[in-house]
Amino acid sequence: MGYPKDAKLLIIHADDLGVSHSENEATIAAMEKGSVNSASIMVPTPWFSEIAAYATSHPTADFGLHLTLTSEWKHYKWGPLADAVPGLDNNNGFLYSSVDSVYQSASLAEVEKELRTQIEKAKHFGIDFTHFDSHMAALFGRQDYLKLLMQLGREYKVPVMLARTGPRSVFNQDLTSFVTDKDVLVDGIFTASPNDFKNGMDKFYTGVMNTIKPGLNILIIHTAYDDKEMQAVTIEHPDWGAAWRQADYNFFTSDACKKLLKDQNIRLVTWREVRDKLLR
């Protein structure tokens, strides 16, 4: 990408746009005023139209698609967008809550139909998406799904959030022979666990910033407000819940975060830059 070999490159990436007004509003604020510089959109969610309108009116903002096969919250649900994908439907008209249920029920053809419907809907709304990733990492846990995701990335000429190592490693699924030098592989992906949340998000993110290595790194976060809407969305689910998302918002709009990035010589890059320099 034209950076020195020892450059510490980082994408600070907020997931789950579209899920709620709270998530949209907080993430937009964290991008405009804070250090978040990339985000991804869930096309089947109820607030998709709101973030699509923002994306098309802010064409330089960096938005990818958070391709979605699950609807995980208790009382607030969405269904698949494609017609006639019974293997993705939990028998209530909604996507399944868990990734395991998707793996047990959905055929690869149904997954492909649903992903293409989501991608084409985003295009139809005018979103110039910069990358693909996968909600709840559903597309990373099976070789056939991951191969499909990589094929879609090549077809639409956008990078997929794939890593060399860790849970999103393309090599976990024995796809070594499938990977080409056109596939972008990220050097490090970081995201907070429930344990990190318990120990304090500031501590976790400060630790990531202080130890980040040269190469292309991604920090996956979730920014929303700890408000009534988000509390109701995430009810009975403190992990990745409203307080968690507020803590992410607080850290990534703080001066402390900006200072850390500067002190550690971390250079923020976007998926748009990756896409346009490496794939187009």
Check residue 81 for interaction with a copy of itself (CB under 8 A): yes
Choose between 218 and 233: whose C-beta lies nearer to a copy of itself.
Answer: 233
Q: Backbone phi, then psi, for 198, in 5-degree steps?
A: -60, -40
Write the secondary structure of the chain as one string of H (helix), E (strand) and C (coil).
CCCCCCCEEEEEEEEEECCCHHHHHHHHHHHHCCCCCEEEECCCCCCHHHHHHHHHHCCCCCEEEEECCECCCCCCCCCCCCCCCHHHECCCCCEECCHHHHHHHCCHHHHHHHHHHHHHHHHHCCCCCCCEEEHHHHHHCCHHHHHHHHHHHHHHCCCECEECCCCCEHHHHCCCCCCCCCCCEECEEEECCHHHHHHCHHHHHHHHHHHCCCEEEEEEECCCCCCHHHHHHCCCCCCCCHHHHHHHHHHHCCHHHHHHHHHCCEEECCHHHHHHHHCC
Q: Which of 31, 66, 78, 146 binds a copy of itself (CB under 8 A)?
A: 78
Applying CB under 8 A, the span of 177-185, 193-201, 221-229, 243-251 interacting with a copy of itself comes to: 221-229
Check residue 228 for interaction with a copy of itself (CB under 8 A): yes
Check residue 202 for interaction with a copy of itself (CB under 8 A): no
Check residue 53 for interaction with a copy of itself (CB under 8 A): yes
Angle CA(124)–CA(127)–CA(129) in degrees, nearest 5?
A: 120
Nearest distance from C-beta of residue 271 to a copy of itself, angstroms:
24
Per-residue contact track with a copy of itself, 109 to 138, x per CB under 8 A?
Answer: ------------x--xx-------------
Per-residue contact track with a copy of itself, 7 to 26, x per CB under 8 A?
Answer: --------------xx--x-
Check residue 243 for interaction with a copy of itself (CB under 8 A): no
Applying CB under 8 A, the span of 88-96, 98-106, 185-193, 194-202 interacting with a copy of itself comes to: 88-96
Site for a copy of itself in 58-77 (CB under 8 A): 74-77
Nearest distance from C-beta of residue 61 to a copy of itself, angstroms:
17
Choose between 48 and 240: whose C-beta lies nearer to a copy of itself.
Answer: 48
Interface positions with a copy of itself (CB under 8 A) = 21-22, 25, 46-50, 53, 74-79, 81, 83-84, 92-94, 121, 124-125, 227-229, 232-233
